Amino acid sequence: MGRRENALRLVAADPQARALGLLPGLAFADARARVPHMRVENEDEAADRALMENLLSWCDRYTPVLAEDPPDGALLEISGSAHLFGGEKALRDDLVARLARMGFTAHTAIAGTTRAARALGRFRPSGTIVPCGAERDHVANLPVEALEAGERIAVALRRAGLKTIADLTTRPRKPLAARFGEELTLGLAQTLGEIDRPLIPRRPPPDFSAQCRFADPVGLAGDIDLALSGLARELCETLGREDRGGRAFEVSFFRADGAVRRIEVLSGQPLRDPKILMRLIAMRLDALSDPLDPGFGFDMIRIAVPDADAAAAIQPGLEGEKGGERSVIELVDRLAARFGTETVKRFVARGSHLPERAALAVPSLAAKPSPWPDSKTRPPRPLFLLSPAEAIEVVAEIPDGPPRRFRWRGGLYNTAHVEGPERIAPEWWRARRDTATRDYFRVEDEEGHRFWLFRYGLYDREAGPVRWFMQGLFP
């Protein structure tokens, strides 16, 4: 029971209630008058929505191309996956049987267009399978309500003597569109199988995937590892034949009770090595805060690559050693799988010359690495920066000259070598208090320590006092 059109109405009914004439949409007062002792539950929209989301995730075992069909249906594109189940009938029987074991009654129909399948599933006995191109014959005897053009149009059609879809097919389309609207004729053409509307999947289908179904659900760790190893090998072989690799892998575990658990495994490079992939999956499973629970067992496991990248073959050294960059990427992958992608970070370049704004720390596997500006076109900068820069006392021979001696953290340093200045103008387009010019110097003292410091402000050319700061240290 829920509120519809400013009145309490029935929003759903079980088969026993429907047999008594208690149909969805009936006013609650009228329903109570017909059956005084009926059992009523208040509508819980959030719970219904969550249940529908879980069922849609569960249907992903049959095809990755599926969409919600409000208010209580699902549309599955099975043309590319029916053969995996032994045909359309076998797929339908498997789906209906599994839902029945979970306590659901499913009304199904298979047709060439989504509109025809929806009409047959809702207005015909369940289980209809329409041969290719035979939609017109199968929907001919359906009532005009199957077009779902609205109650007002359905009543008008019946008053005009048009009670079934067959009655409409004998009429010219232009007069129908002029009287009842183009939406009616468009829906009629889709229901008859003349045209189809594209199915927009709730989740983009993966570029590559490998899945394994089990006759009997598996729950032992050894069986799950064996299945994952086979899937990783199959998937990586497919990627290798296409010269592709994956930076993100989605591992889906479908439980026998309908629950679906998905984990994501990320890589810093296009990956297609099954051994490395299995190692990352195992580390990711071990690091889960909510451990994987097989329940009564998994009846299907899938590994998918949502978006594959080009991956050229890697030439190892003469002694089989890996390149240093590749080893670092593999280390980052292992750390991210163990401690989480948000924990391991890397720096990406930003559009600013100011040192404190020139780089931004992001999760190491969140996005593809972006190239840094060519270091040959600018003076070298230290890896270690002080945040914030620390004030120092400086002695210079002339006001605008380089530092000859400076005091920092209580120590006195005499300059032996100086490079600079590197002048950085303030970012005038930003609302900041940092509005003075900076002159950076690379300084080496008499003991060989190297510093990066700057003068903040220009004598006689910028307002405010001129100060010196220590920005960073060179190794």
Domains, the chain, with CATH or none: 2-43 (3.40.1170), 68-191 (no CATH), 208-315 (3.30.1490.100), 379-473 (no CATH)
Over the range 298-310, which residues count as b (16 or more CB within 10 Å of their CB) and which as e? bbbbbbbbbebbe
Distance between CA atoms of 473 and 475, rounded to whole angstroms?
7
Within 317-463, strands assigned E span 345-349, 359-363, 384-396, 403-408, 411-424, 438-445, 450-456
Residue 473 DSSP SS3: strand
**For the chain, what percentages of helix, strand and coil (3-state, to nearest 5) are there?**
30, 30, 40
Question: Are 249 and 208 in contact, with CB atoms under 8 Å apart?
Answer: no
* Structure-block tokens of residue 456: 């903040």
Distance between CA atoms of 243 and 240, rounded to whole angstroms?
5
Q: What is the pLDDT along the chain (475 residues), one digit of tens a residue?
A: 788 778 888 888 888 888 888 888 888 888 888 888 888 888 888 888 888 888 998 999 999 899 988 878 899 999 888 888 899 999 999 999 999 988 888 889 999 899 999 999 888 877 889 988 899 999 999 999 998 888 889 899 999 899 999 999 888 989 888 988 888 999 899 999 888 888 888 888 889 999 999 989 999 999 999 999 999 999 999 999 998 998 889 999 999 888 899 999 888 788 888 998 999 999 889 888 888 899 889 999 999 998 888 776 655 555 555 555 667 777 777 787 777 777 788 788 887 888 888 888 887 776 565 666 655 666 788 888 998 899 999 999 888 899 999 999 999 999 999 998 999 998 888 777 778 999 999 999 999 999 999 999 998 888 888 999 999 999 8
Residue 85 DSSP SS3: helix
